[in-house]
Amino acid sequence: MIATLLYEFRMQIRKRSVWIVPALTLVLFVLIGGSLLRDLFDPAERPPEARLAVVGLAVQIHALLSIGFGCLLADRLVRDDRLRVAPILDATPASPGARLVGKYLGAGAATAVPIAVAFFGFATAYAGSSGSWSALPWALAVFGAVMVPGLLFVAAFALTVPLIMPAPLFRVLFVGYWLWGNVVTPDLMPTLSRTVLNPLGGYPMAALFDFAGIDGDDQWAGPFPGATLNFLRPEPTPLIAWLSIALLLVLAAAALTGGHLARLAERTRS
């Protein structure tokens, strides 16, 4: 599994598109306004605390770059069959399950590297310009508690869902889901956003980082008056936040297991 992981990492990180897509995304983001980025470096506009600045940065980077992340990973698994390496790999003693996990972690980590580079790059720049070096430990904490679980969740579905539908269709549905399940506010339509199932990490942000938007007037977790699915929005406490993270990881594992079983079934059929 470790070997698979390392090779998948190497193959993926060498792809130019893994770097170009996030880079272009950031360029677009900055062109369109990227008001938060500008605010971060403006002493008059920047949020009072390094913690708020860093979590706000994480939200934007995470929400934007995860889309490319999911799309780029979407054909990793079906590619083996297309490149006709699957029979070679199947004939090796490495168990298919371990190989799947290795591919998942390796390719996922490699695709996440540019995201981490962007995030920590901005965080460091912010720390330098504002002089609040406490931003860096906060950045590490947010990355681990909010971004990593979200990316693990996305990667699991991006790898396995294209086994049952064409990858382009998955990309469309994925971005639709991402918008609906993360950005749409619950008073607009029934949505999974702001629930414990939110891959953007509303609960950890609210409960572990005491974050309510850069200006303090957003609600990232907890029951929404009048919204449906409020049973998935308990009051945010640290325990619930950890549960939310665990839930994302469990769902990711379930997706991988499902994909693994689907592949085995396919193998025995053909």
Binding residue for other proteins, selected from 43, 44, 82, 268, defined by CB under 8 A? 82
Write out the two tokens for 152.
Answer: 């693990």
The tokens of 102 are what? 């290795």
CB closer to other proteins, 56 vs 135: 56
Give the shortest CB-137-to-other proteins separation in angstroms.
28
Q: CB-wise, 17 or 129, nearer to other proteins?
A: 17
68 touches other proteins by CB under 8 A: yes
- Check: CB of residue 89 under 8 Å from CB of residue 102: no
Site for other proteins in 219-238 (CB under 8 A): 226-228
User: Which range, of 43-51, 64-72, 85-93, 136-144, touches other proteins by CB under 8 A?
Assistant: 64-72
Extract long-range pairs of 29-38: CB within 8 Å, 24+ residues apart.
29/60, 29/64, 34/60, 36/60, 36/214, 37/122
Do residues 111 and 18 lie in contact, with contact meaning Cβ atoms separated by under 8 Å? Answer: yes
Near other proteins by CB under 8 A: residue from 178, 209, 211, 220: 178
Closest CA to 204 of 143, 144, 136, 145: 145
Q: What is the DSSP letter of 93?
A: S
Sign of CA dihedral 54, 60, 65, 71: positive
Is residue 28 close enough to count as binding other proteins by CB under 8 A? yes
Residue 190 in contact with other proteins, rule: CB under 8 A: yes
Q: How far is CA 111 from CA 61, 64, 125, 213, 243, in A?
A: 14, 14, 22, 27, 26
Residue 48 in contact with other proteins, rule: CB under 8 A: no
Asked if 169 is part of the footprint of other proteins (rule: CB under 8 A), the reply reads: yes
- Binding region for other proteins (CB under 8 A): 11, 15-17, 20-21, 24-25, 28-29, 31-33, 35, 63-64, 67-68, 71-72, 74-75, 79, 82, 167-169, 171-172, 174-176, 178-179, 183, 187-190, 226-228
